[in-house]
Structure 1
Amino acid sequence: MAYEIPVTQARAELADLINRVVYGGERVVVTRHGKPLVALVSASDLERLDALDAPDAPAGERVISSVSAVRDAASASRERQRFGIAAEHRGPDPS
């Protein structure tokens, strides 16, 4: 289930919301007047959604270069330092 937050509160807490999505694995739904407006999801969730939208691409084989580049950005350590993040979420061990 997704965490819901009003857009006015989301503006003030954007950095924290991003951390919850990236490092906590949460999904955040931003609402306006109680109605869902947008959702914050991880890059891996976005890849899965885009793969579902591509009728000609087999699931699991489609790679989105722009999203992959964001995930591997060298500035990630700088952002963790900036926001005081001590831990990093890592996916399951591929072996």
Structure 2
Amino acid sequence: MAYEIPVTQARAELAELINRVVYGGERVVVTRHGKPLVALVSAADLERLEGEREAAEEQVVRSVSSLGSSSPAPAARGRFGLTAEHRAPGDRHA
């Protein structure tokens, strides 16, 4: 759970908040009118979060790439009323 603080108070206590994040391992959420505005996290936390995001994006790319491209059989095209299909550049097979 993160420590929440209003932006007006955060301005006055910025040095203390930085110490809480860096040395206390806390996460601080700065709010405006009770709504989250920004979060203060350690550089190590940020690096970990960015690494997780990149890993998730790579997983999506691998998943999509493994699907490959397939086209429905000619009978299925007629059955479902398909009149066009995507072909990769250079694919001349009918």
TM-score (norm 1): 0.57
Higher Cα Rg, which structure: 2
Structure with bigger RCO (C-alpha 8 Å, 6+ apart): 1
Identical residues among aligned pairs (%): 82
Match of 2:92 in 1: none
Q: What pairs with 1:30-69 in structure 2 (closer than 5 Å)?
A: 30-54=30-54, 55-56=57-58
* Contiguous gaps of at least 5 residues in structure 2: 60-94
Q: Is it true that 1:2 corresponds to 2:2 in the alignment?
A: yes
- Give distance in 2, aligned partners of 1:47 and 1:22: 14
1:42 partner amino acid: S
Match of 2:76 in 1: none
Q: Is it true that 1:15 corresponds to 2:19 in the alignment?
A: no
What secondary structure, in the 3-state scheme, does the structure 2 residue paired with 1:48 have?
Answer: helix
More helix by share: 2
TM-score (norm 2): 0.58
Aligned structure 1 segments of 4 or more residues deviating by more than 4 angstroms? none
Match of 1:27 in 2: 27
* Contiguous gaps of at least 5 residues in structure 1: 58-95
Work out the number of aligned pairs and report it.
57
